[in-house]
Amino acid sequence: MKMSQLHRVPRVEIDTKESSAPTDYAPQHPVLDLHSTKMSQEDHLDTYTEVNPYKLEEMEDAEGLRSLVASKFKKRAIKKKAKAKAKAARKTAEAINKLAVGVGKLKEKAKQLIKKAVKKYEIDEDSLKEKMSDHLNKFGKELLDM
């Protein structure tokens, strides 16, 4: 066989005569009898209306979808504010605890200083406590005014 014969397209004659098929043909297979029920005339596609789901009016009609979304955002905002307030309250409580610890340490330190001063300089303890109290009150007021 030559190589040129492999690439050759064979000539095929096509019969252009029309076939004479009967026009009143009815299939006779028994399985076709099972599906011979007629379709109902009503179709749900007959009542089809086109919808734009992103149109605002459509969203409002969709069982309150817009109000549902708005309420979710509102709840989320309220929750976020509550968390922020709780965080601020927690930080304030921590700061107050630190101040209380600091004040307790200052009280202990003041007591020790008073005892040393009374022994060393033989000063009256009550008058020394009064003077220190005045100074501490002034200092406390200055702290609060900051």
State phi, psi for 14 to the nearest 5 degrees: -105, 130
Q: Which two tokens stand for residue 69?
A: 């979304």
Structure confidence at residue 89 (pLDDT): 94
Reply yes or no on whether the pLDDT at 54 is more than 80.
no
Identify the residue with better confidence: 74 or 15: 74
Contact partners, residue 110, CB within 8 Å, separation at least 6: 132, 136
pLDDT 10s digits, 67-126: 777 888 999 999 999 999 999 999 999 999 998 898 888 888 888 888 888 888 888 888
Closest residue by Cα to residue 102 from 128, 136, 146:
136
pLDDT confidence of residue 27: 75
What does pLDDT average to over the chain? Answer: 78
Position 91 scores a pLDDT of 94
pLDDT above 60: residue 60: no
CA gyration radius for the chain?
49
Which helix (H) or strand (E) segment holds residue 144: the answer is helix 125-145
If you average pLDDT over residues 8-15, what whole number do you get? 69
pLDDT at 129: 80
Please report the pLDDT score of residue 18 as a whole number: 62
Q: Considering the chain, what percentage of its residues have pLDDT values greater than 70?
A: 71
